[in-house]
Chains A and B, each alone.
Chain A
Amino acid sequence: MVETFTPAVCGSRRRQRLALAGFALGAVAASALVGASLGAVGALLGTQLAFVVAALALLAAAREAGIVRLPLPQLRRQVPERWRSELPLPVWSVGYGIGLGLGFLTFQPVATFWVACAAAVALGKPLAAGLCFAAYGAGRALMTAWPRHGQPDPTSAVESLARRRRLLLLGNVGALLFCAGLLAAAPAAGAAVQTLGAGLDPAAAGTVLGRARMDSGSSSVLVQPRDRTPIAVPGAAAPAVDGGFLAYEDGQGVKVIDWRTEDPVARVDGQVAKPALDWPLLAFVRTDSTYKRLVVADYTNPASPVERVITRISAVNDLGRPSLAGGRIAWHKVTATSSRIYAQVLATGRRSVIARSSVFVLANPSITSRRIVWVRQNSRSCALLMRRWASPAVKRIYRTTGTTRLLWTTALTGRTAYVTRWSLGTAASTLVRVNF
C-alpha cells in the first residue's frame, strides 16, 4: 500500500497528499464504525466478558510466541488494484482506506485485531469502542505515510521494518500479556465499581444524581447534575429525581420542586414518606396506625391530583421505598416470614412477584423501562441483583460481605446502578456506582 501512495502513482505530490488524506479518512471512519458496532453488540448482550477477553488475549499471546498453532480468521485478499485506474483518486483512496480500516477484509498477520474485537464487545459502549478502534485505522494510515519520512525509498523503509518482524512480534506478545493482565484485574469481571462519597438513598435520572446526606443527625438532599454546581436542599430526605423535578421528604410530608429554580410544584402533607417520581406520577408510602399504603398520585391536572392505592400492608411490616419508571412501579414487602419484590404495570394493574424468599431479605428495588435491580441480604453478605423485564435470568452485579458493608437503597439509570453501602456499627453510609 505504501507504494501506491507515491507521486508517480497519484500524479503529483499534491494528489499524493490528497490520496493519503482520503485513505486516512476511510480507514479511521471504517475502523470507528467497526468498533462502535461491536460496542453496540456488547451493550445488547450485557454479559460480563472481561475474563473471556483476558483468556483470548492470553491465547493470542501464546500464538504470537509460537507456543500454540492457531489459524486466524482472515480474508487473504488485497484491495482491488483496478480501482486506481477505473475510479477517481478521492474515491479509490477512500475506498482503500475503508477496505483496510474494516480489518476483516484483508490479511491478518497477528491475532491482536481479533482480541481487540472481543474487547470492544466486552466494553459494551459504542462510543468508547469506536474511538479505540479509530486508533487502528489511524495506525493503518500512519503506515502508508510514515515510511517516506527520512527514507529516499518507501520500499526500503518497509523492508527495514520487515527485518525487525521478530522484535515486533515479541512486542505484540508483551502488549497482549499486559492487556490480559489488565482485563483479568478489572473489578467484578467487567462491572466497574466506584465509590462516590458519603450519602444514602440515591436517586438517578440520566446525568442527574441525587442523594441524601446525614450531618449531625439532620438530613439534607444534594442534587448533582453533570457539569453543574450541586444544589443542596436542607431539611430534606429520601430524594427522587425525574428530569428537572425533585421529590423529597421533609417535616410536613412529601414535596416536589423544580430543582433548577427551586419552585414548588406539588406537595402531599401528612404521614407520607419514601417518594418515587416519574412526573406527572408521584408515588409515596402513607402510614397510619394500622396500615402502610403505597399510593400513586397522578398530577396530570396539578390542581386536582388523582390518588390510587396500589397496595397496603400491616403497619408492623416493611413497605419499602418504591420506584416508578416506564409505566411500572416496583416495591418490596418484608414480613416476619418472607420478603418479596413486586412490580406492577400501572395501566393494566397486572402485578408480578419478581423475587421471593423465606430466608433472605429482598429489598429496595429500582427500575427503568428495561431493567430492575434490588438488594438481597443474608447473614454474611449482600448482593445487588439485576434482571431485565424481558428475561427471567437474574444476574449479580455487585456483592459485599460482612456487617460493615451492608447494602441499602438503590437507584438505576440505563446500565448504571447506584446503591447505599453502610456500616451496621457506625451507621455511616457511602454511595457506590456500579456499571454493568
Chain B
Amino acid sequence: MRRPDELVDGAAHALSTRLAGGLTRRSFLGRMGGAVLALTGGAAVAAAVRPEEGEAFHFCGHIWTTGSCPSPTGRPRIDRHGYPLRPGDGRPIDNLGRLVNAEGYAIDSAGERLVGPDGEPLPRAPRTRLCEEWVNERFGLNSHTQGSWYRCCGNQIRKLVDCCSRSRRRINGDASLVGYCWHGNRVFCVMYYDSGLSC
C-alpha cells in the first residue's frame, strides 16, 4: 500500500500535469498562482520548486540531456504562449531576434522603431512559436507543447517545457524519450518559461 504522502504526491503530480498540459494560452502558473501551488502542492510540487543547485545540463533547471528547441537567440526562452523572448530580460523578440513592441515592430532598446537603409521604419518580421512553428518547419514534425516540470532558478520558478512529437529521434539526433509527453508523443526538444514567482 502506498504511503499517504506518496498518494498526495501522485495526485498533485497528476493534477499539475493535467493543468499544465492545457492550452498554452492558459498558463498553469498564471491561472493558479501561488495559492493554488499551496493547495495542490503536496510534496511533489513543493519538492520540484525547492531551491536546489540546479545541475543544469545547458540551462538552469534542465538536468536531462535533450537539446534546446531552435530559437532566434539559441536559448529557448518563451512566454506563456510559446513565443520567443530575449533570454536576458524576457522582453519579446521576433524571429530575427530583434526586440519588438506590442504591434510586433522591431525597436531599439529605447523603444524607437528601427529603420532600414532607406530611412523608413522596418516592417514586421514573423514572430512564431518555437515548438509548433519552428520545429514543424525546420524538422517537418507535427510538434506540440506538452509536459513540463518546475525548478527554482534565479530565485524564481522556472517551468521547463517539453516540445513533443511522434519522432523517435530527438533534436540531439539520438533516440527520444517519453519524458512528460503523452498520447504517444516523445520529447523532441525543450524550452523554458520564467514565471517570476519567487522560490
Enumerate chain A interface residues (CB-CB to B < 8 A).
200-201, 212, 214, 217, 219, 237-238, 316-318, 334-339, 357-361, 377-380, 408, 420, 422, 424, 427-429
Q: Please give me the 5 A-B residue pairs with the lowest Cβ-Cβ distance, nearest first.
A: A318-B123, A379-B97, A429-B117, A379-B72, A422-B117
User: Could you say which residues of chain B place their CB within 8 Å of the CB of A219?
Assistant: 118-119
Are A212 and B96 CB-contacts (below 8 A) given A358-B126, A359-B133? Answer: no
B interface bracket (residues with beta carbon within 8 Å of A):
20 to 34
Report how far A318 CA is from B94 CA in the complex, Å: 15
Q: Are A428 and B117 in contact (CB under 8 A)?
A: yes
Q: Tell me if A361 and B95 are in contact (CB < 8 A).
A: yes
A-facing residues in B81-124 (Cβ within 8 Å): 95-97, 103-104, 114-119, 123-124
B79 vs chain A, min Cβ distance (A): 15
| Any A CB within 8 A of the CB of B128 | yes
Are A217's CB and B117's CB within 8 A? no
**Taking beta carbons and an 8 Å cutoff, which residues of B are in contact with A?**
70, 72-73, 95-97, 103-104, 114-119, 123-128, 133-134, 136-138
Q: Give B84's nearest chain A residue, CB to CB.
A: A379
A361 touches B126 (CB 8 A): yes
How many Å from the CB of A220 to the closest CB on chain B?
A: 12
State whether B137 touches A359 (Cβ < 8 A): yes
In angstroms, Cα B125 to Cα A360, docked, is 8
- A238-B118, A359-B95, A359-B138 provided; 20 other pairs, C-beta below 8 A? A200-B118, A201-B118, A214-B118, A217-B119, A316-B124, A335-B126, A336-B124, A358-B128, A358-B133, A359-B70, A359-B137, A361-B95, A361-B125, A377-B96, A379-B72, A380-B97, A424-B114, A427-B116, A427-B119, A429-B117
Evaluate contact between A379 and B124: CB separation under 8 angstroms. Answer: no
Determine whether the beta carbon of B116 is less than 8 Å from that of A422. Answer: yes
Interchain CB contact under 8 A, B126 and A338: yes
What are some 22 contacts across the A-B interface (CB < 8 A)?
Answer: A201-B118, A214-B119, A219-B118, A219-B119, A318-B124, A336-B124, A336-B126, A337-B128, A339-B125, A358-B126, A358-B137, A359-B95, A359-B133, A359-B134, A361-B95, A378-B72, A378-B95, A379-B73, A379-B97, A420-B117, A424-B114, A427-B119
Docked pose: A357 CA to B137 CA in angstroms: 7
> Which residue of chain B has its CB nearest to the CB of A358?
B133
User: How near does chain A come to B92, taking the closest CB pair, in angstroms?
Assistant: 12
- Of B96, B104, B115, B137, the residue contacting A336 (CB under 8 A) is B104
B96, B118, B133: the one within 8 Å of A378 (CB): B96
Q: Which chain A positions have C-beta within 8 A of B97?
A: 379-380
Question: A184 to B92, alpha carbons, bound, how many Å?
Answer: 43
CB closest residue in chain A, given B104: A336
Are A359 and B126 in contact, CB atoms less than 8 angstroms apart? yes
CA distance A221 to B35 in the complex (A): 65
Chain A residues whose C-beta falls within 8 Å of the C-beta of B104 in the assembled complex: 336
Q: How far is the CA of A165 from the CA of B196 in the complex (A)?
A: 81
Query: Who on chain B is nearest to A219 by CB?
Result: B118
B95 touching A317 by the CB < 8 A rule?
no
Docked Cα-Cα span, A238 to B120, in Å, equals 12
Cβ of A307 to closest chain B Cβ, rounded Å = 24
The complex places the Cα of A201 from the Cα of B117 at a distance, in Å, of: 9
Closest A residue by C-beta to B132? A358
Task: Tell which of A212, A318, A336 touches B127, judged by Cβ atoms closer than 8 Å.
Answer: A336
User: Separation in Å of the A322 CB from the closest CB of chain B?
Assistant: 15
Contact A334 B124 (CB under 8 A): yes
